[in-house]
Structure 1
């Protein structure tokens, strides 16, 4: 075996049988990268149905913030299930109100701008984005929006109109929601504009757009990821988010931060926007908020959210008691040490990856914040050409070496392990990654 924790060839016989059954009854639209069939997980470790053990540095696409089956989260969900499984959002219950109070207390509107906040609860990130867009249009009475190339905000029709990390997501679904204009996301590693300050260049581009093509007075909101996810784990230049905030204030435009992937401790702070000290008007959350249970949230300045009239927006499953129990337990754990662990272990992880980059010229850049880390791979051509095939091959070989990874952007391997990952697990992952890179380069991928 390629790794002592792998007992069978991959996929094993049970996994192969499951995949064959699945192919007959489940939509082929799911973008499955390699044949992993999960049996169970604990912390950062997962096992497939054939008994093979892996390190999970994908965490369900940054969802399993507290690791797999954290006993405190499991206990909270079981206790909630003993009481009741569902009561529609037409009514009230303790878990939902408590979660609203806690989100209001930690929201960047409160902690940075000292303004009260309110939340609308739903089941997913795309639903949260849809709610944010509806709220922005409702309170501004403006029809237009600005989004960013490389952004990912979901796949329902409103959020899909902003999603532009890959054309695949929009292919075959046009026309999406009208009124969305995309602009470049500032990427210092791959600059689109002349000059050293790509953030300023994008802001200048927006100003030109407002003068020539998109009337600023018709723009309801700018929707942006404070750390771009699917587009390549791109950290914006210093000053960019503050510049966006100032531009929005100048024109009466709302600023929406999509923190679906970057929020809830993932970057070593509760929210990625806190690194820049910038508060949005509206924020979207999901993924890590429920440690695996489906939950999303639109968090907005109270002065905005309170304008929604009864029935203006709704959601049957919003505030589900099991999801709220998981979210409240998750916030306890994240604030109780996991956020700090993300900062500390994340810094060590990036340092180890940058050491690795000294030995492999194909690693063009290592970037990120906390435990939201990208490793961009490039061709050996002196032009930083994205090494797409190499990236895909390394992710696949990592699976066969016992490490679960995903890619993003054109050729970036992303690392988003649970926030309670240990330094020892990071070191183990580095060795699996090194082996996978060596195998890929030797194969000529």
Structure 2
């Protein structure tokens, strides 16, 4: 059959091929994508969807951002691969210099890899090398990746079932989950969850602490947003024990929270900062950036990545950062403030919305059973994951792609391209309101 007479691909064709040749994967949104531009994606059947999830918070500059695509094309015409850890590469050094300029405080030297998971694991290796210690404290409900090492840091059994992690020297402390906090007795937040990190260090470690690893906003936990002062207390707990603070900016970085970095909201400069997702607007790239003194603990050969620092991805990342700083982060801040107010209104309007939370364009709605059992401290209603799935399915039928996650699988996730307009956000909020009405009926 010639190309001219071959029938066009359909959604069913792509889905059938996935089922036959791909290992089982999570296809929760189940929209086969043929093309994408800006805040929209199109499937093989010609349906167009408003995307307010951006591939799990990746295409921060919008799908197919022109300057990013042009930069990648220009580098493709020069060369694609030379292994940046064997051959010096201008796109790589340019990006490293740019990161030294845009990352917080005295963070200066970077290591490039392929993903957020690799960035986190590399940061842990660096912390161990610098401190000479081995133990790590992370957070319950935290998420740092799906490889065996990063799973040891992740505080959620649903990611670990039947796959034992390889890092044994990891302890977990309470998350800053104010809505379901068991430490403040339903009263004003006392940041007691930060004090719990000190308790865990003192009771669950062997005085060999290398680092504390946290997220500025806990994405996979359900957009859990720490209270003021929490991150500073965590940093103090680490530094008082000669350990480092690793802040995982994989999901929060590159303008997602309305600032370039999540830590910018809290006035804290980490010792090592893993990044990925939005760094190259969809091309595979990760990095971890550290203070010079810490970074220089690595000796040649201590860490390596064959594809890390790919020049095409690095060229795209440089153009992405320029675009973000050219007004996109400002738009994220402005639209995020508007969206926050709208989601707070939904919390007041619907009993099924337990809490609206987040920063910038990283916002979540936790859905609950309004007549269900209350939480342990009578601070929250029973999680409603089945209801959330129905809402998510209704939105997809209305051609809105929205994330669904959280520790209890009951949080609607707004993480759109940061180029999104208020009109597009209004469309998604109204669709969410319609979904709540429909599933209630």
Note if 1:391 corresponds to 2:382. no
Q: How far did residue 139 of structure 1 move?
A: 1.0
Note if 1:40 corresponds to 2:31. no
Q: How far did residue 13 of structure 1 move?
A: 8.6
Q: How far did residue 430 of structure 1 move?
A: 1.3
Match of 1:204 among 184, 187, 195: 195
Q: Distance in 1 between matches of 2:194 and 2:318?
A: 38
Q: Distance in 1 between matches of 2:203 and 2:57?
A: 39
Matches within 5 A, 1:312-323: 312-323=302-313
Given the two structures, how large is their TM-score scaled by the length of structure 1? 0.92
Q: Distance in 1 between matches of 2:317 and 2:9?
A: 36
Note if 1:436 corresponds to 2:431. no
* Contact 2:148/2:165, CA 8 A, preserved across alignment: no
* Contact 2:212/2:246, CA 8 A, preserved across alignment: yes
Q: Distance in 1 between matches of 2:342 and 2:349?
A: 12
Q: Distance in 2 between matches of 1:68 and 1:205?
A: 41
Match of 1:84 among 63, 79, 98: 79
Q: Distance in 2 between matches of 1:275 and 1:40?
A: 35
Q: Distance in 2 between matches of 1:138 and 1:386?
A: 42
Q: Label 1:73 to 1:214 Cα distance change in 2 as closer, same or farther (>3 A).
A: same
Note if 1:156 corresponds to 2:147. yes
Q: How far did residue 116 of structure 1 move?
A: 4.7
**Aligned position for 1:7:** none
Deviations 1:346-379 (A, max 9, x none): 1111112222233211111111100000011111
Over the aligned positions, Cα root-mean-square deviation in angstroms equals 1.5
**Aligned position for 2:252:** 262
**Aligned position for 2:299:** 309
Q: Distance in 1 between matches of 2:362 and 2:59?
A: 13
SS in structure 1 of the partner of residue 191 of structure 2: helix
* Contact 1:187/1:198, CA 8 A, preserved across alignment: no
**Aligned position for 1:119:** 110
Q: How far did residue 91 of structure 1 move?
A: 1.0
Deviations 1:120-175 (A, max 9, x none): 0011000001100110111111111001011110011111111124x221111114
SS in structure 2 of the partner of residue 118 of structure 1: strand
Q: How far did residue 248 of structure 1 move?
A: 1.3
Q: Label 1:275 to 1:415 Cα distance change in 2 as closer, same or farther (>3 A).
A: same
Q: Distance in 2 between matches of 1:308 and 1:100?
A: 16
Task: Name the count of aligned residue pairs.
Answer: 423
**Aligned position for 2:126:** 135
**Aligned position for 1:337:** 327
Unaligned ranges ≥5, structure 1: 1-11
* Contact 2:107/2:271, CA 8 A, preserved across alignment: no
Deviations 1:226-259 (A, max 9, x none): 1111001011011000101111121111000000
SS in structure 1 of the partner of residue 14 of structure 2: helix
Deviates more, 1:262-271 or 1:353-362: 353-362
Note if 1:407 corresponds to 2:398. no
Deviates more, 1:184-193 or 1:288-297: 184-193
Q: Distance in 2 between matches of 1:95 and 1:122?
A: 14
SS in structure 1 of the partner of residue 178 of structure 2: coil
Matches within 5 A, 1:279-290: 279-290=269-280
Q: How far did residue 100 of structure 1 move?
A: 0.3
SS in structure 2 of the partner of residue 38 of structure 1: coil
Q: Distance in 2 between matches of 1:203 and 1:116?
A: 24
Q: Label 1:197 to 1:256 Cα distance change in 2 as closer, same or farther (>3 A).
A: farther
Q: Label 1:116 to 1:441 Cα distance change in 2 as closer, same or farther (>3 A).
A: closer
Q: Distance in 1 between matches of 2:28 and 2:319?
A: 31
* Contact 1:406/1:415, CA 8 A, preserved across alignment: yes
Matches within 5 A, 1:353-372: 353-372=343-362
* Contact 1:96/1:321, CA 8 A, preserved across alignment: yes
Deviations 1:181-228 (A, max 9, x none): 01110111111213446563123323333333323x301000000111
Q: Distance in 2 between matches of 1:210 and 1:154?
A: 23
Match of 2:263 among 269, 273, 288: 273
Deviations 1:290-339 (A, max 9, x none): 10000000111110111211101011111111100110011001111010
Q: How far did residue 77 of structure 1 move?
A: 0.7
SS in structure 2 of the partner of residue 86 of structure 1: coil
Q: Distance in 2 between matches of 1:59 and 1:106?
A: 23
**Aligned position for 1:9:** none
Deviates more, 1:136-145 or 1:357-366: 357-366
Q: How far did residue 439 of structure 1 move?
A: 1.6
* Contact 1:199/1:236, CA 8 A, preserved across alignment: no
